[in-house]
Amino acid sequence: MESIIAHTSDNVHAFILDLDFQFHFSSLLRSDNSFNYRERTFHCELTYLEDVCREIVERLKVKYEDRLLSIVLFGSTAQGRRKLESDLDVIVILTDATESDRNVRSGLENIMIEYEIPIDSLVFTVDEFKYMLDQKHPLILGVLLGYKVIYDRLGVSELLNEVEASLREEGWRRYKWSGLWIKPKH
C-alpha cells in the first residue's frame, strides 16, 4: 500500500483529481471547481466498507457453507457514526453452531489485516436469535438503532421490523438523542 503525504490543500486536490476511482468526481466538484473533501472521504469509505463486507460474506460462506443463514452489521459503522478507531460489529446467524463455530474471528483474521479494521463478531443459532427477538434482548434493541443486513437467507430485516413494530405497539419509546428504548410503566 502506497502512502502519499501532501503538505498543501492544492497538492491534495491535484493528487485526488489524478486518481482513477470507481465513482464520478464531477458530483464532488462544486461549481467553482473547489473540492468537497468530506463528501469525497465519505464515498471512499463506502467503497472500502463494501469491499470489507463482500470479503466477510465470501469467507463466512466458505467456512459455514449451508449452515450460514444471515450476517448483520450493527453498531457505529452501520449507524453511520464510524470513526477511524471504530471496529466492525457483526452478527452471524447459523442453523446450528458448535463451540468452534462461535470463533468467527479465525475466519476473518486476514480481512482484519488486509483492511486494517478490527471485527467483533457474535455467533447465534437461529433459535438463539429468535429467542432474543422474542425477549427483546438489549442486544436486539441496540441492533435496532441501525443495522445493515449483508447476507440473508432468514429474513432478518423482516424479523427486526416485526420486533420494532411490537415495541411501538406496546408503548416503548425510543429516545432520539440517546437511542435508548424505554419500556412503559404499567
Res 14: pLDDT: 53
Residue 128, classified by CB atoms within 10 Å of its CB into exposed (0-12), middle (13-18) or buried (19+), is: middle
Q: What was the pLDDT predicted at 48?
A: 81
pLDDT at 175: 87
Structural domains present in the chain: 10-17+26-182 (3.30.460.10)
What does the alpha-carbon distance between residue 186 and residue 168 come to, in Å, rounded to a whole number? 15
Residues with pLDDT less than 70, the chain:
1-46
pLDDT of 6: 43
pLDDT at 24: 39
- What is the distance of C-alpha 7 from the center of its chain? 33
Q: What is the DSSP string of 3-16?
A: ----SSHHHHHHHH
- Would you state the pLDDT for residue 106? 79
